[in-house]
Every structure is written in C-alpha cells, then in structure tokens.
Structure 1
Amino acid sequence: MTAVLSADACRTAPIAQVSGSDLLVPLVQGGELPYANFDYAASAPALSQVTDRIAELLPTYASVHRGAGYASRISTLTYENARESVSRFLNCSEDQVVVFTRNTTDSLNLLAQCVPGSTVVLDVEHHANLLPWNDARVVTAADTVEETIERLVAELCTKPAALLAVTGASNVTGEILPIARLTEIAHRLGTRILVDAAQLAPHRRIDLQECGVDYIAFSGHKLYAPFGSGVLAGRRDWLDQAQPYLAGGGAVREVTTTSTEWACAPARHEAGSPNVLGAAAIAAACETLQALDFDAIAEHEKALTEQLTDGLSAIVGVDVVRLWADAPDAVGIVTFTVAGYEPGEIAAFLSAEHGIGVRDGRFCAHPALARLGLSGGAVRASLGLGSSSDDVQRLIDAVKILVSDQRDWNYEKTAGSWNPVPETRSFLVGSDEKAGAAECV
C-alpha cells in the first residue's frame, strides 16, 4: 500500500486503533509477520479507547455501592455511569433497564428464567439462544428469509408464545434478519421479542425505541471490550417479577432469618461484587462506536466483505456459505469450505505459514451447520474495525496457495486437532505452554 491512500483505499484501511494491531507472530518456516486477525466474531480486540479507560480506572478500582471511601465512590459512579452509557447507546425507553452480566450466554440464561411462557426460536441460532429456554418451540429455517418469516408466523399463530428469540446477525454467515419487521409481527400476535445481538451490536446501530425490540443481549468481548462483561437490556416488568438470577448481597432490600425482600432490577439480578472494569469497558466501547458513526463502519465492512467474498469465490474448490438467498444485509462474516481439506487443516495452515487467525469448526451452531450439510464444520473469517484490504488480500492469496498444493509444511491430525509437523513456533507467553481449556466448536 502506498503512503498516500486514495479515497477508495481509505475505505478499506483500518478505521480504528485496536489492541494487537502491531502484533508480530512467528511462522513455522521461520520469520515473523504482522498478525492478520479474522476472528472478530469470536472475540474482538479491545479498542485503544477501552484499554486507555481501564488503565485510567485501575488506581481507583474498588468495591461499589457500599463503600464510603474515595475509591469506592469513584467505582460506584463509574459502574452506574456505565449503565447510563449503555442505555444511551441502545436508546432504551423509560420502562427498559440495563443489567450487567458476564456475556451474551449469561444474559439469555437470565432472561430465560423470567419468561412466563413458551419461547419460539429458529434452529439456526447460536447455542446460547437455542438451549436456555425452558419451553422452547424450535422452528426450522427455510432457504429464504421470506419463507422463514412465514414459518415463524405460522408457529406463533398456531399457539401463542410469550417470547420470540432471534439472532440479530448470524454468527455463521453474518446475515441479518429484518428485526423491525419481526418485532411488528411479534407484537401484533401478542408476543415479545428478544434479539441476540452478540454479532449485530459491534456492526450496526441499535435503537430500541425505533425498532421496538423488547429485550436485547450482547457481549463486551465482541464489542471491542474483552473484559468478561455482558448486557441484558429490556422491559423491566418480567425482570422485576422473576426470582433473582443469583441470590446474594446487593440483590436485596432487607433480609431476616425468615424472609427476604428482593430489590428491583437491575440490582435484583446483579448479586455479588460486580465487574466494574468490565462494565466501564463496555461503556467506553459504546461511546467510541457511536463517535465513529455506524454508517462508516457498515461501509468499511461492506467493501472488505465484498473483496473477500469475490476473491474466495473465484478460487476453484472454494465454496462460500450462506443461510438465506435473500438476506437483506450482512455483517462482516465470510464462512467457507475448501474441497479436499478439513476446516481444521485449513486454519492450521493459514496460521502456521501466513500468520492469519480464523475460526474453524461448527461455531456453537451445530443445527445450523447440519442444515447446511456441513456437519464436519467450516472456516469462518470475520472482519472488524481493525481489518484492512491488505489483510483480506493476504487471506485470499494464502487460500490460493493451499488449493494449488504449494504449502511449505506438512500437517497431521492428532487428538482431533490439526498441527504443523514439526511445530517450530513457541506458544510460551508467561504461562505453561501445555495449558489449555475446553472450547466451543
């Protein structure tokens, strides 16, 4: 890329500073390359404004709500101001409340215990929006959005439901459902609507008063604030009437040995010492995203997504995956397969020889992948504020090398995982290199 960018080129340069943008990663064949991050849909890197805010708060980090000390009062103000920032970000109405949680999964499980009836969901949902509901009625998605909506309407008309729970943007393909239209349909049929916005919130403006959505859930770690905090926002009546999500300090007004008077939401569902830094991180991310302008974010992603989709589609043997033929819009997620290669092998090659990070597997959406005939999984490349056209071209060129069988290294599958043989890179970064954790596939 030249030092002076044209107007078109500027659209596909990174539009925000994110942590890890200067990270150099080792290659198995020797040398290093700047890390090309295509795993934003799993966990987005923190915005620089977020890390700056956390560093600013650390010296006064303390317990909230019940401390008279200076640091505690600062932390209390920080925590409640964060709630207000998120409420403004979503444009919540007066009867909607913001509850801080651990992540989207936590938010949905919280709401699930508050729903006074059955919940209708699609089979293509992330497991977090498929598994928690106590009385779930699963509708099979069709090949088009229009027919899928018809099936949802038919289900809601056949038997009333308390809640319709839908994804805002598919974590498999990025495709966006017409949320305002679904909200109007649900309300007309006496049903409330929940939107799993884990993939939508980082990419599109969400205005709860404008679209009419009753409940929304998203994660900080996908919103450029990876510090273990999430949000459930929505109408307070169900939240006030339900049993507390956790029983403990902070969720109560008065306790005796024989009775308990619970607080109203949000305190009702935030027992224990809250994640003050996590809430502040989400708030900083919300404020930064609003200042960046979501139209600019959408244009940036559209340019990069088209470049990636066109580039991959032109390679013989590569198939780009879609759920619906008529999806009106999509965020920056491109999922694909390469004939003759397992997804894990592709991901291992991209990482080991090209310094590219993608996600492979079934993305915690097993029924969706099975419906697409991809029970063995696929490769997901997801884009974000720190992505550039150079990164995209690097991924396209690497896949071309793979397909032309010009790899420099051999790869073997052991214990279900693909790895380069021999592995020459060190993964020892301040901890036991052999340590690992179970991960959703």
Structure 2
Amino acid sequence: MTAAAPPTDVRPLAELVGAEEKVPLVTDGYARYVNLDLAASAPALASVADRVSEFLPSYSSVHRGAGYASMVSTAAYEAARVTIGAFVGAREADVVQVVRNTTDAFNLLATAVPATPERQDVVHLDLEHHANLLPWATRGRVVAAADTLVGTLAALEAELARTPAALLTVTGASNVTGEILPLAELAALAHAHGARIAVDGAQLVPHRRTDLAALDLDYLAFSGHKLYAPYGAGVLIGRRDWLEAAPPYLAGGGAVRQVTLEATTWAPTPARHEAGTPNVVGAVALAAACEAIAALPDGALEAHEAVLLDRLSAGLGAIDGVRLLRLWHGEVPAVGLVSFAVDGYSAEVVAHYLSAEHGIGVRDGRFCAHPLLERLNGGRTAVRASLGLGSSGEDVDRLVAAISSLVTTGPLWTYGTDGLPSPDPRPLPPWIASDSQPLRACQA
C-alpha cells in the first residue's frame, strides 16, 4: 500500500508584503513571484508594515525631546526593547542592545569579551556564518565539526578542556544546511568549563521559539531583516556586565552622561553602545514581528515548516543529479532551508534559470560560510532554497518542477558564463527606471 501523498494545499501561515507580486519572465509574460530566499532577507509581515505606517506620524527624536511625538517615539523605542527581550525569554537583568544586524551584534560583542591571563580565547566551529567567524579572527580557536554530532560535541569539549576559554560561540541553525545545534547541551558544556556561550540566532529565531533563559544562553543575536522586519535593526541580548565594562562601540551623542574637553563620562548600557540617533523605526518593526510570531498557535510554525521542508527535501532528492548538502544526515532537526547542487550546471546558472524562466527567487553562492562550503561542496557555490511563514505547498512544487525540467530538458534560454540570462529583456520597475531599463544593465 503506497503512502498518501502530502496535501497540495499547504497555505502560508502569515501574510507577507508582496506575496502576490508578479515578475517578468525572459520567455515572455509574468508569473507570481515565489520567494524562496527568505534565509537571506525576508519581506515584511503585512502586520509589521501596518505597525510601521501607524508609528510613522509620531516618529521623532528619542530620549531628550520634550515634544509629544518625541515622547511617543521614546516610549515606542523602549517598549520595543522589552517586547523583543520577552520574545526570546531574556532574563530581567539582561540588556537588549539594538544594533543593525547579527554581524553588527557580534562585532560589538567582540569588543566586550574580556581577556584575562587565564581566559583569553573564543572557541567556535568551522561551520559558522562569517558574522560569527570574522570578528574572532585574532583570538578565535576553531574546532572542525566532525562527521557526527556526537563527535562534534566531543571535539568542542576536548578543546574547552585543553585550554580555558572566555566564550564558546555557535550558530543556532546553520544557514547552509539548516541543521539545528543542541543549544542547551552546548550551554551546559561551555559553563562546565567556565566559559560563556553566545548564539547566532539569525536563522534559528525566525523558525523556532528560542528561550534564552530556559536554554541558559549568555548572549543571543539576531536580525530584523530575517525576522520579517526588514527595517535595518537587529539585537544583541544577554548579560550586562561584559557590555557595561566594554568601551563604547561608537563614540558620539547619546552614549554619554557628561562631556568636557578633558574627559567623558559614558552612559551605562544600553545607551553606552547606541551612540547617535537610533533606528527607532527598525526597533518598532522588529518588536511588531516578535508580537506577530508570538501570537501564532503553539507549534503552528514548526508544523507548517516541517511539512514543507519534508516535501522540498523529498522532491529535490528524487531528481537524478541533484545533491542535497547536509553535515549530519538525519541526526538533528533542521529549519526550513535546503542547499543543493545540480550536476552539469553551475549554481549561478541554476539560480538565474529559476528566476528568469520560472519567477522563483533562490540564493546562489557560498552563503557567507566559505569554510563550510569548502567541506560540503569542494568550495564550489551551491543553490539555497529557504522557506518561511509565507511559503506554501505550491511554492515548493513549482521549485521541484522547475529543477526537474532543468535536469530533464535543459533551459529554454541561454545563459552566460556568469550565469546571467543573455539577452535579458526583463524591465526594471518604473519607480527605479522610468525608461524601463533592462535588468541586465544593472547587473554588469
């Protein structure tokens, strides 16, 4: 008896801005845009865009303005801090530091990790995104992930035991494979060896409810542009003492208590690291996204994504010549993304083919994780399809059908060595170029 096919009517879990956007095809006509590039940047939730529109009439300066709009903006900014912290289970004493994105968060944290004669180094895995790799270049100790999760945890423990470290910093979910690391176990491991733990939550937080206190994490960073709030804000959340003792991330107004020509008295956190006019709109948007996701029924996000991820993995895995990239096949759960390679085609050609002939957006490249792509794909680029709240069963089916058609019959168009369609007659939107300049002219 054959198993029942998965339902074809898996619908989006939430409304995203641009969900019904039509895009031009090189083969003439238009198609509904299928956005499977959410792991890079996700469109705004409709509710987030509505909140921003609601807030904008009151936008003003924060913290020192006496006008009513300024007081409203200050209240909105500080309330956003509370909402974001609550969304990820921040402890009462933790600080919610508003930054630009996850990269910004780790660069800030890198200035704050103390170095003592006993504990100077930061330990991390080789699978990290560059945001959690490059800031540790001068004091990082790299542990190569093993072929199994058990082996990887053993390697980390051996490194922490060999020489004490100040910090263990890891991704919550790989942006290449989607695989989720066991954070509670890693936190216990770090603390057992006297180190703190920081987590890159950029790919984890949009897909799984994450509780900083319950997992016993010391620091968590994530980005609004991956959490359906693409308005330029992210956060670093965690223990206050290191950030309180660190030099100000930027020197400027708002980060000070008193300035003379001879000396400066710096403000405590979070103001200490938020010099200049903060991104109030971004913070309000990020808080609205947290509210919207928190309001989903328990387990709804995970269940929605699991059905689509299974369908995507099975569909691509059944196509001859398509190879899925994973570190620990089946050992750990994964968030909704799949990276893959197609025999006979560069990742650039595959991605542009999907866009130009099928109206499907994916990512191609090494995903700011070059060492991991070296391990998984010999340093070659790959294709990544990523799912989220706005994804549907139809989206998955269109991608699988398009890849199947590529493997079976090849592309209908011609593509250059750079992967770009040649020619590319698709026009830019008129609000960018009133003369409908071809898209390729902007990609040269």
Q: TM-score range by the shorter chain?
A: over 0.9
Match among 90, 93, 113 for residue 95 of structure 1: 93
* Equivalent residue, structure 2, for 1:331: 335
* Residues 53 and 284, structure 1, Cα contact 8 Å, conserved in 2: yes
Structure 1 counterpart of 2:117 = none
Shift of 1:326: 4.7
Cα contact 1:203–1:294 (8 A) shared by 2: no
1:95 Cα deviation from its structure 2 partner: 2.0
Q: How does 1:351-362 map to 2 (within 5 A)?
A: 351-362=355-366
Q: 1:130: which partner in 2?
A: 133
Once residues 283 and 223 of structure 1 are traced to their aligned partners in structure 2, the CA distance between those partners, rounded to angstroms, is 10
How far apart in 1 are the matches of 2:234 and 2:211?
18
Give the direction of change, closer, same or farther, for the CA distance of 1:437–1:353 in structure 2 (3 Å limit).
Answer: closer
Partner residue, 1:350: 354
Alpha-carbon distance change, 380 to 157 in structure 1, aligned in 2, over 3 angstroms: same
Counterpart of 1:251?
255
2:409 is paired with a residue whose SS is coil
Correspondence for 2:147 among 114, 136, 143: 143
1:409 to 390, 413, 430: 413
Question: Shift of residue 422 of structure 1?
Answer: 1.9
SS in structure 2 opposite 1:33? strand
Q: Kindly report the root-mean-square deviation, in angstroms, between the aligned alpha carbons of the 2 structures.
A: 1.6
Give the secondary-structure state (helix, strand or coil) at the position aligned to 1:404: helix
Q: Distance in 1 between matches of 2:86 and 2:313?
A: 35
1:424 aligned partner: 425
**Equivalent runs, 1:159-174 vs 2, <5 Å:** 159-174=163-178
1:220 matched to 2:224: yes
SS at match of 1:329: coil
The 1:437–1:63 alpha-carbon spacing in structure 2 relative to 1, beyond 3 Å, is farther
Instruction: Specify the alignment match of 1:30 in structure 2.
Output: 28
2:67 equivalent to 1:57: no
Deviation at 1:325, TM superposition (A): 2.7
8 Å CA contact 2:99–2:233 kept in 1: the answer is: yes
Q: Does 1:308 align with 2:312?
A: yes
Q: 1:257 to 1:129 in 2, by over 3 A?
A: same
Q: 1:333 to 1:78 in 2, by over 3 A?
A: same
Within the candidate set 10, 17, 20, 2:18 is matched to 20
Q: Which residue of 1 aligns with 2:84?
A: 86
SS of 1:166's partner is strand
Cα distance per residue 1:24-70 (max 9 Å; x no partner): 00111111110001000000110011000000111111110110011
Contact 1:177 1:327 in 2 (8 A): no
Aligned 1:176-191 pairs, distance under 5 A: 176-191=180-195
Deviation at 1:261, TM superposition (A): 1.2
Shift of residue 424, structure 1, vs aligned partner: 1.5
Tell me the alpha carbon deviations over residues 94-119 of structure 1, each in whole angstroms, 9 at most, x when there is no partner: 22110000000000000001001311
Query: Partner letter of residue 131 of structure 1?
Result: L
Distance 1:257 1:59 in 2: 38
Measured after TM superposition, the shift of residue 436 of structure 1 is: 5.7
Q: Which of 75, 78, 98 is residue 77 of structure 1 equivalent to?
A: 75
Contact 2:8–2:394 (CA<8 Å) still a contact in 1?
Answer: no
Given that 2:309 and 2:337 are in contact with CA atoms closer than 8 Å, whether structure 1 keeps it comes out as yes
What TM-score does the superposition give when structure 1 sets the normalisation length?
A: 0.95
Question: Matches of 1:276 and 1:294 in 2, distance apart?
Answer: 30
Gaps of 5+ in 1: 1-5
Specify the code of the residue in structure 1 equivalent to 2:244.
D
> In structure 2, how many angstroms separate the alpha carbons of the residues matched to 1:294 and 1:215?
25
**1:201-236 deviations in whole A, cap 9, x for unaligned?**
101011111100000000000000001100000000
Displacement of 1:15 in angstroms is 0.6
Return the offset for 1:254.
1.2
Question: What is the match of residue 203 of structure 2?
Answer: 199
The residue number in structure 2 matching 1:121 is 124
> Which residue pairs with 1:107 in the alignment?
105
User: Paired residue for 1:378, among 376, 382, 397?
Assistant: 382
Counterpart contact for 1:204–1:294, Cα < 8 Å: no
CA offsets 1:114-135 (integer angstroms, 9 cap, x no match): 0013110111100010000241
For the residues of structure 1 that align with 2:249 and 2:201, how far apart are their CA atoms?
Answer: 21
Deviation of the 1:407 alpha carbon: 2.4
CA change 1:168–1:435 in 2 (3 A) is farther
Alignment of 1:284-303 (within 5 A): 284-293=288-297, 295-303=299-307
Give me the TM-score of the superposition, normalised by structure 2: 0.94
Q: Indicate if the aligned counterparts of 1:143 and 1:325 stay in contact, CA closer than 8 A.
A: no
1:3 corresponds to: none
* Matched AA of 1:28: V
Q: What per-residue deviation string (whole Å, max 9, x for no partner) do you get for residues 255-314 of structure 1? A: 111111111111110010000000000000000000013511111111001101101111
Distance (whole Å) between structure 2 residues aligned to residue 166 and residue 437 of structure 1: 34
How many Å apart are 1:8 and its aligned residue?
5.0
Cα distance change, pair 436–201 in 1 and its aligned pair in 2 (3 A): farther
Q: What SS does structure 1 have at the residue aligned with 2:383?
A: strand
Q: What is the SS of the residue equivalent to 2:165?
A: coil
Once residues 330 and 19 of structure 2 are traced to their aligned partners in structure 1, the CA distance between those partners, rounded to angstroms, is: 35
2: distance between equivalents of 1:95 and 1:8? 46
- Among 211, 234, 240, the alignment partner of 1:236 is 240
Please report how far the alpha carbon of residue 339 of structure 1 lies from its aligned counterpart in structure 2 after TM superposition: 0.3
Q: Aligned letter for 1:338?
A: V
Tell whether the 8 Å contact from 1:102 to 1:229 is kept in structure 2 after alignment.
Answer: yes
C-alpha distance in structure 2 between counterparts of 1:208 and 1:58, whole Å: 31
Q: Distance in 1 between matches of 2:268 and 2:333?
A: 38
For the residues of structure 2 that align with 1:231 and 1:184, how far apart are their CA atoms? 24
- Secondary structure of 2:419's counterpart equals strand
Structure 1 stretches of 4+ with a deviation exceeding 3 A read: 6-10, 432-438
